[in-house]
Amino acid sequence: MRRDLAFGITASMVVLWLTFFASPGSVVVATLVASVAVLIWFSTVETARLRDSDGRPHTMLFGLTLLAGALVVTAAVFIATPTVLVVGALVTLAGVVGIVRALRAAMGAA
């Protein structure tokens, strides 16, 4: 619990620093690193964390993933730099990998 809280506080501090003090290039690199980290997490996390207590895909997790994906894809459409397009593809891929793993685990558990 404390580790999750420390991670949340650290992530919030990084986002605030990126928002107010970072250059545009470092923001793009940070989003690229974050999207790779999310893809790795969805690919390697135990499937129990992707499902709620009923065994269905976790609504909050995948709802936030969908929201983040929509924001990144919108940014990719408007900014249209190759790096932002790669970030959009990675976030989309991460969401697909996560939901497929959650659904497979739910079907296997049923």
DSSP sequence for 64-84:
HHHHHHHHHHHHHHHH--HHH
Q: Which of 51, 57, 49, 59 is nearest to 4 (CA)?
A: 49
What is the value of pTM for the model shown?
A: 0.81
Torsion 41-45-51-57 (CA) sign: positive
Q: Answer whether 42's CB lies under 8 Å from 97's CB.
A: yes
Q: Please state, in angstroms and rounded to a whole number, the distance separating the CA atoms of residues 43 and 58.
A: 15
Interval 26-56: pLDDT, tens: 888 888 998 999 999 999 999 989 998 888 8
Whether 109 shows a pLDDT value over 80: the answer reads no
Q: Which of 40, 45, 72, 39 is nearest to 57 (CA)?
A: 45
3 state DSSP class of 38: helix
Please tell me the least confidently modeled range out of 6-10, 34-38, 65-69, 105-109: 105-109
Half-sphere exposure of 103 (CA within 13 A, CB side): 7
- The whole-chain average pLDDT of the chain stands at 87
